[in-house]
Amino acid sequence: MFRVPPIRDWMKTTYDTLLPIWQEIPGWLRENGYEDITSLKSNPTKSMYGANFFDALSKDPRREADFASAMSLQDNIPKVATAQFPWNEAAATFNKRKSDVFVVDVGGGQGQYLARLINEYPGMPGRKIVQDLPTVVAGIDKSNSKLESQAHDFFTPQPVNGARYYHLRGVLHD
Ligand SMILES: C[S@@+](CC[C@H](N)C(=O)[O-])C[C@H]1O[C@@H](n2cnc3c(N)ncnc32)[C@H](O)[C@@H]1O
Protein backbone atom coordinates (compact mmCIF):
# COMPACT_ATOMS: atom_id res chain seq x y z
CA MET A 1 0.00 0.00 0.00
CA PHE A 2 2.80 2.44 0.85
CA ARG A 3 4.14 2.11 -2.69
CA VAL A 4 1.17 4.23 -3.84
CA PRO A 5 2.76 7.73 -3.81
CA PRO A 6 -0.07 9.73 -2.12
CA ILE A 7 -0.45 7.07 0.61
CA ARG A 8 3.31 6.97 1.13
CA ASP A 9 3.44 10.78 1.24
CA TRP A 10 0.50 10.94 3.65
CA MET A 11 2.46 8.75 6.06
CA LYS A 12 5.62 10.83 5.55
CA THR A 13 3.63 14.00 6.24
CA THR A 14 2.09 12.47 9.34
CA TYR A 15 5.38 11.33 10.83
CA ASP A 16 7.83 13.95 9.52
CA THR A 17 5.69 17.08 9.68
CA LEU A 18 2.60 16.66 11.86
CA LEU A 19 3.82 14.39 14.64
CA PRO A 20 6.48 16.88 15.82
CA ILE A 21 3.72 19.48 16.21
CA TRP A 22 1.50 17.11 18.15
CA GLN A 23 4.44 16.26 20.41
CA GLU A 24 4.96 19.95 21.04
CA ILE A 25 1.37 20.47 22.25
CA PRO A 26 1.64 19.19 25.88
CA GLY A 27 4.71 21.34 26.64
CA TRP A 28 3.26 24.37 24.90
CA LEU A 29 0.01 24.07 26.87
CA ARG A 30 1.91 23.70 30.15
CA GLU A 31 3.99 26.81 29.42
CA ASN A 32 0.95 28.80 28.33
CA GLY A 33 -1.40 28.07 31.20
CA TYR A 34 -3.48 25.59 29.17
CA GLU A 35 -5.04 28.38 27.13
CA ASP A 36 -6.91 27.60 23.91
CA ILE A 37 -4.74 27.43 20.79
CA THR A 38 -6.23 30.25 18.73
CA SER A 39 -3.39 32.64 17.93
CA LEU A 40 -1.24 32.74 14.82
CA LYS A 41 1.41 34.60 16.86
CA SER A 42 1.92 31.92 19.48
CA ASN A 43 1.00 28.26 19.01
CA PRO A 44 2.65 24.82 19.03
CA THR A 45 3.36 24.89 15.27
CA LYS A 46 5.21 28.19 15.61
CA SER A 47 7.04 26.93 18.64
CA MET A 48 8.10 23.79 16.72
CA TYR A 49 8.93 25.28 13.31
CA GLY A 50 9.38 28.99 14.06
CA ALA A 51 6.60 29.75 11.57
CA ASN A 52 2.96 28.94 10.98
CA PHE A 53 2.14 25.73 9.16
CA PHE A 54 2.07 26.79 5.51
CA ASP A 55 4.91 29.29 5.94
CA ALA A 56 6.98 26.48 7.41
CA LEU A 57 6.06 24.17 4.53
CA SER A 58 6.95 26.79 1.92
CA LYS A 59 10.48 26.95 3.35
CA ASP A 60 10.95 23.20 3.12
CA PRO A 61 10.41 21.90 -0.45
CA ARG A 62 10.57 18.24 0.55
CA ARG A 63 7.91 18.56 3.24
CA GLU A 64 5.79 20.76 1.00
CA ALA A 65 5.94 18.28 -1.87
CA ASP A 66 4.98 15.42 0.47
CA PHE A 67 2.04 17.43 1.81
CA ALA A 68 0.81 18.40 -1.67
CA SER A 69 1.00 14.79 -2.81
CA ALA A 70 -0.79 13.60 0.35
CA MET A 71 -3.62 16.03 -0.37
CA SER A 72 -4.27 14.31 -3.68
CA LEU A 73 -5.23 11.14 -1.84
CA GLN A 74 -8.92 11.95 -1.56
CA ASP A 75 -9.15 12.39 -5.33
CA ASN A 76 -7.59 9.02 -5.94
CA ILE A 77 -10.62 7.32 -4.41
CA PRO A 78 -13.17 6.47 -7.11
CA LYS A 79 -16.30 8.61 -7.32
CA VAL A 80 -16.23 10.07 -3.84
CA ALA A 81 -15.54 13.75 -4.11
CA THR A 82 -16.95 14.95 -7.41
CA ALA A 83 -20.15 12.88 -7.13
CA GLN A 84 -21.22 14.94 -4.11
CA PHE A 85 -22.28 17.85 -6.31
CA PRO A 86 -24.62 17.82 -9.36
CA TRP A 87 -21.96 18.98 -11.80
CA ASN A 88 -23.98 18.04 -14.90
CA GLU A 89 -26.86 20.32 -13.85
CA ALA A 90 -24.34 23.03 -12.98
CA ALA A 91 -22.81 22.77 -16.45
CA ALA A 92 -26.24 22.98 -18.11
CA THR A 93 -27.06 26.29 -16.41
CA PHE A 94 -23.64 27.88 -16.94
CA ASN A 95 -23.98 31.33 -18.54
CA LYS A 96 -20.73 32.22 -20.27
CA ARG A 97 -21.82 35.80 -20.83
CA LYS A 98 -21.63 36.56 -17.10
CA SER A 99 -18.10 35.16 -16.79
CA ASP A 100 -16.14 32.61 -18.78
CA VAL A 101 -14.83 31.08 -15.55
CA PHE A 102 -16.83 28.05 -14.49
CA VAL A 103 -15.01 27.13 -11.29
CA VAL A 104 -12.16 28.40 -9.13
CA ASP A 105 -10.69 25.94 -6.64
CA VAL A 106 -9.43 28.17 -3.81
CA GLY A 107 -6.47 26.62 -2.01
CA GLY A 108 -6.90 23.69 -4.38
CA GLY A 109 -3.41 22.29 -3.89
CA GLN A 110 -1.94 20.91 -7.08
CA GLY A 111 -5.31 20.76 -8.82
CA GLN A 112 -6.28 17.28 -7.68
CA TYR A 113 -9.99 18.05 -7.41
CA LEU A 114 -10.27 19.95 -10.70
CA ALA A 115 -8.18 17.38 -12.58
CA ARG A 116 -10.57 14.74 -11.32
CA LEU A 117 -13.58 16.85 -12.30
CA ILE A 118 -12.23 17.47 -15.81
CA ASN A 119 -11.49 13.79 -16.23
CA GLU A 120 -14.94 12.64 -15.09
CA TYR A 121 -16.87 15.38 -16.91
CA PRO A 122 -14.87 16.02 -20.10
CA GLY A 123 -17.58 18.31 -21.55
CA MET A 124 -17.59 20.67 -18.58
CA PRO A 125 -17.79 24.24 -19.95
CA GLY A 126 -15.78 27.33 -19.11
CA ARG A 127 -12.40 27.90 -17.52
CA LYS A 128 -11.31 25.92 -14.49
CA ILE A 129 -8.73 27.62 -12.31
CA VAL A 130 -6.85 26.20 -9.35
CA GLN A 131 -5.36 28.73 -6.93
CA ASP A 132 -2.81 28.07 -4.21
CA LEU A 133 0.39 29.48 -2.75
CA PRO A 134 3.15 30.21 -5.31
CA THR A 135 5.41 27.32 -4.33
CA VAL A 136 2.50 24.85 -4.50
CA VAL A 137 1.24 26.14 -7.86
CA ALA A 138 4.78 25.90 -9.24
CA GLY A 139 4.61 22.13 -8.75
CA ILE A 140 1.45 21.65 -10.82
CA ASP A 141 1.67 19.35 -13.82
CA LYS A 142 1.00 21.74 -16.74
CA SER A 143 0.19 18.95 -19.23
CA ASN A 144 -3.55 19.25 -18.53
CA SER A 145 -4.40 22.10 -20.89
CA LYS A 146 -7.96 22.35 -19.51
CA LEU A 147 -6.68 23.28 -16.07
CA GLU A 148 -5.36 26.78 -15.37
CA SER A 149 -3.33 27.60 -12.31
CA GLN A 150 -2.86 30.86 -10.49
CA ALA A 151 -0.74 31.80 -7.49
CA HIS A 152 -3.02 33.47 -4.98
CA ASP A 153 -2.98 33.99 -1.21
CA PHE A 154 -6.57 33.47 -0.08
CA PHE A 155 -6.13 36.02 2.70
CA THR A 156 -6.00 38.68 -0.02
CA PRO A 157 -8.90 39.80 -2.29
CA GLN A 158 -10.04 37.26 -4.86
CA PRO A 159 -8.70 38.28 -8.32
CA VAL A 160 -11.27 36.23 -10.28
CA ASN A 161 -14.63 37.92 -9.96
CA GLY A 162 -17.98 36.51 -11.06
CA ALA A 163 -17.00 32.86 -11.56
CA ARG A 164 -19.95 30.47 -11.41
CA TYR A 165 -18.46 28.43 -8.54
CA TYR A 166 -15.79 28.88 -5.89
CA HIS A 167 -14.80 25.51 -4.49
CA LEU A 168 -13.21 25.36 -1.04
CA ARG A 169 -12.29 22.04 0.49
CA GLY A 170 -10.15 21.59 3.56
CA VAL A 171 -9.07 25.23 3.71
CA LEU A 172 -11.46 27.16 5.97
CA HIS A 173 -9.54 26.01 9.06
CA ASP A 174 -6.48 27.77 7.64
C1 LIG B 1 -5.58 20.75 3.60
S2 LIG B 1 -4.94 21.30 2.06
C3 LIG B 1 -6.37 21.08 1.00
C4 LIG B 1 -6.01 21.09 -0.48
C5 LIG B 1 -7.21 20.92 -1.45
N6 LIG B 1 -8.21 21.97 -1.27
C7 LIG B 1 -7.85 19.56 -1.29
O8 LIG B 1 -8.92 19.47 -0.66
O9 LIG B 1 -7.30 18.58 -1.80
C10 LIG B 1 -4.90 23.08 2.28
C11 LIG B 1 -4.39 23.84 1.06
O12 LIG B 1 -4.46 25.24 1.32
C13 LIG B 1 -3.30 25.84 0.78
N14 LIG B 1 -3.08 27.13 1.47
C15 LIG B 1 -2.71 27.35 2.75
N16 LIG B 1 -2.64 28.66 3.02
C17 LIG B 1 -2.97 29.30 1.85
C18 LIG B 1 -3.10 30.68 1.50
N19 LIG B 1 -2.85 31.66 2.37
N20 LIG B 1 -3.50 30.98 0.23
C21 LIG B 1 -3.75 29.98 -0.68
N22 LIG B 1 -3.65 28.65 -0.39
C23 LIG B 1 -3.25 28.33 0.87
C24 LIG B 1 -2.21 24.82 1.03
O25 LIG B 1 -1.06 25.04 0.24
C26 LIG B 1 -2.95 23.53 0.71
O27 LIG B 1 -2.84 23.20 -0.66
155 lines ligand 1 (CB under 6 A): yes
CA of 70 to the centre of ligand 1 (A): 12
Nearest CA to ligand 1 atom 19: 153
pLDDT of 84 reads 79
Segments of the chain scoring below 70 in pLDDT: 77-81, 174
- Residue 174 in any domain: the answer is no
Q: Which of 71, 103, 116 has most ligand 1 atoms within 8 Å of its beta carbon, as the pocket-test mutant?
A: 71
- Residue 119 in any domain: the answer is yes
- Residue 12 in any domain: the answer is yes
Chosen domain end from 75, 91, 126: 75
pLDDT of 78 reads 64
In terms of domains, do 157 and 96 share one?
yes
Check if the beta carbon of residue 102 is closer than 8 Å to that of residue 124: yes
pLDDT of 83 reads 74
133 lines ligand 1 (CB under 6 A): yes
- Residue 173 in any domain: the answer is no
Please state the domain count of the chain. 2
CA of 171 to the centre of ligand 1 (A): 6
Global confidence as pTM: 0.85
- Residue 17 in any domain: the answer is yes
Q: Residue 104 CB: number of other CB atoms within 10 A?
A: 25
pLDDT of 110 reads 92
pLDDT of 142 reads 86
127 lines ligand 1 (CB under 6 A): no
In terms of domains, do 97 and 156 share one?
yes
pLDDT of 80 reads 63
Q: Which atom of ligand 1 is nearest to the CA of 112?
A: 9
In terms of domains, do 45 and 96 share one?
no
Distance of CA 142 to the CA centre of its chain: 17
Q: Provide the b/e sequence for 68-83 (b: ≥16 CB within 10 Å).
A: bbbbbeebeeeeebbe
pLDDT of 30 reads 97
Chosen domain end from 75, 103, 130: 75
Nearest CA to ligand 1 atom 10: 171
Q: Does the annotation mark 167 as catalytic?
A: no
pLDDT of 128 reads 97
> Residues 30, 41, 79, 173: which is the catalytic one?
173
Structural domain that includes position 159: 82-168
Chosen domain end from 48, 75, 102: 75
CA of 88 to the centre of ligand 1 (A): 26
Q: Residue 13 CB: number of other CB atoms within 10 A?
A: 22
What span, in angstroms and rounded, lies between the C-alpha atoms of 156 and 129? Answer: 17
